[in-house]
């Protein structure tokens, strides 16, 4: 479907979803949130897509909620709200977080500028953050006398530790790209004009691999955060290993190894 406030590009087996309100620093209003929900659902169901890049147009990744408009993104009585959205915490903002969190394929946030508030949440919900040297991060909520939402209080302590997360949430101060890399908030910092190139290269690296294995590894890693013992986690590993053993890609991997050639995985 055509979008007005986001763009969705597909390049072979990767997709790039760009928030496209550069004049508003890609701030989140009801319209852009509903477009994100629609796009994420479609991309999640598209078996040809093996990796997703999330980024922003212009100077910002996403500056958070658009405070110049009514807070329809959190209003359960907003026009056009679905039953599923009505029963989701924080309504449409929360649906986007939920869709990013449950996206089975790798999600790469290419953070080109400020990621604040809900924008910070969506960057945190990605699996990997490749960031421009001009990027900054802010849990800005406290500066509006609010508390973090959209999942920030869940993701942030898991990424940077409780003390640093509290510092960021208590102050709302900006964290620059190099500091973000040092504390584990960013995987990699690259020159600003090389950001999408770096994100694409990583996305293609993943997309050209055995995508079933890569999806199982993602699921396994997040499950491990909730596992109560190594025995519980090994049971998860055993199940997912069996799924991979039954794939076509494992035979291709073995044949390529024996034939001393690069493998050509199909994700099946």
Do residues 225 and 154 both lie within one domain? Answer: no
DSSP-based three-state secondary structure for 129: strand
Q: Are 93 and 39 in contact (CB under 8 A)?
A: no
- Cα–Cα distance measured from residue 202 to residue 253, given in angstroms and rounded to the nearest whole number: 20
Do residues 74 and 178 both lie within one domain? Answer: yes
Q: In degrees rounded to 5, what are phi and psi of residue 130?
A: -100, 125
Q: Is the pLDDT of residue 200 over 80?
A: yes
| Of 106, 78, 97, 110, the residue nearest 188 (C-alpha) | 110
Do residues 122 and 228 both lie within one domain? Answer: no
Do residues 201 and 164 both lie within one domain? Answer: yes
Strands 114-116, 136-138: parallel, antiparallel or unpaired by DSSP? parallel
Chain segment 110-157, per-residue pLDDT in tens:
999 999 999 999 999 999 999 999 999 999 999 999 999 999 999 999
- CATH assignment of the domain containing 23: 3.90.226.10
Within-domain flag for 163: yes
| Of 18, 20, 25, the residue nearest 43 (C-alpha) | 18
Examine the fold and report which residue of 187, 207, 227 is the final residue of a domain before the chain moves on. Answer: 207
Name the domain count of the chain: 2
Neighbours of 11 (CB within 10 A): 13
Strands 175-176, 136-138: parallel, antiparallel or unpaired by DSSP? antiparallel
Within-domain flag for 265: no
**Torsional sign, CA 152, 158, 159, 162:** positive
Q: Is the pTM of this model over 0.95?
A: no
Do residues 95 and 140 both lie within one domain? Answer: yes
Q: Is the pLDDT of residue 165 over 70?
A: yes
Do residues 75 and 89 both lie within one domain? Answer: yes
pLDDT at 34: 93
Q: Which tokens belong to 53?
A: 């890049």
Which three-class secondary structure string do you get for 86-99? HCCCCHHHHHHHHH
- Cα–Cα distance measured from residue 39 to residue 57, given in angstroms and rounded to the nearest whole number: 17
| Of 139, 145, 104, 134, the residue nearest 123 (C-alpha) | 139
Do residues 138 and 223 both lie within one domain? Answer: no
Q: Is the pLDDT of residue 1 over 70?
A: no
For 134, counting Cβ atoms within 10 Å of its Cβ (0-12 exposed, 13-18 middle, 19+ buried), the class is: middle
| Of 181, 33, 174, 69, the residue nearest 113 (C-alpha) | 174
Q: Which residues contact 173 (CB under 8 A, 6 or more apart)?
A: 138
Examine the fold and report which residue of 172, 189, 207 is the final residue of a domain before the chain moves on. Answer: 207
Average pLDDT, the chain: 93
Chain segment 55-102, per-residue pLDDT in tens:
999 999 999 999 888 777 788 888 778 888 888 888 899 999 999 999
Which of 209 and 261 is assigned the larger pLDDT?
209
Do residues 176 and 254 both lie within one domain? Answer: no
Q: The domain containing residue 92 runs over which residues?
A: 6-207
Within-domain flag for 267: no
Do residues 170 and 252 both lie within one domain? Answer: no
Do residues 102 and 194 both lie within one domain? Answer: yes
Q: Is the pLDDT of residue 222 over 90?
A: yes
Portion of the chain with pLDDT greater than 70, in percent? 100
Q: Is the pLDDT of residue 250 over 80?
A: no
Do residues 30 and 136 both lie within one domain? Answer: yes
Examine the fold and report which residue of 207, 225, 243 is the final residue of a domain before the chain moves on. Answer: 207
């Amino acid at each position: 479907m055509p979008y007005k406030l986001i763009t969705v590009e597909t390049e072979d087996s990767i997709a790039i979803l760009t928030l496209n309100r550069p004049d508003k620093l890609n701030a989140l209003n009801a319209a852009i949130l509903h477009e994100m929900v629609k796009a994420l659902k479609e991309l999640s169901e598209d078996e040809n897509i093996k990796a997703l890049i999330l980024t922003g147009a212009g100077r910002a990744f996403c500056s958070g909620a658009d405070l110049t408009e009514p807070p329809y993104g959190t209003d359960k009585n907003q026009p056009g709200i679905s039953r599923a959205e009505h029963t989701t915490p924080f309504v449409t903002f929360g649906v986007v977080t939920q869709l990013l969190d449950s996206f089975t394929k790798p999600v790469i946030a290419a953070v080109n500028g400020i990621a604040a508030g809900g924008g910070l949440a969506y960057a945190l919900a990605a699996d990997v953050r490749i960031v421009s040297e001009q990027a900054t991060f802010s849990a800005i909520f406290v500066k509006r006398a609010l508390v973090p939402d959209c999942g920030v209080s869940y993701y942030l302590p898991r990424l940077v530790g409780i003390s640093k997360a509290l510092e960021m949430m208590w102050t709302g101060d900006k964290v620059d790209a190099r500091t973000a890399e040092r504390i584990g908030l960013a995987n990699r910092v690259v020159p600003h004009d090389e950001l999408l190139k770096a994100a694409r290269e990583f996305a293609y690296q993943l997309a050209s691999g055995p995508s079933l294995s890569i999806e199982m590894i993602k699921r396994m890693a997040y499950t491990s955060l909730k596992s109560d013992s190594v025995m519980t986690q090994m049971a998860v590993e055993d199940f997912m290993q069996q799924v991979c053993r039954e794939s076509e890609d494992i035979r291709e991997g073995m044949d390529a190894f024996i034939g001393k050639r690069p493998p050509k995985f199909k994700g099946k």
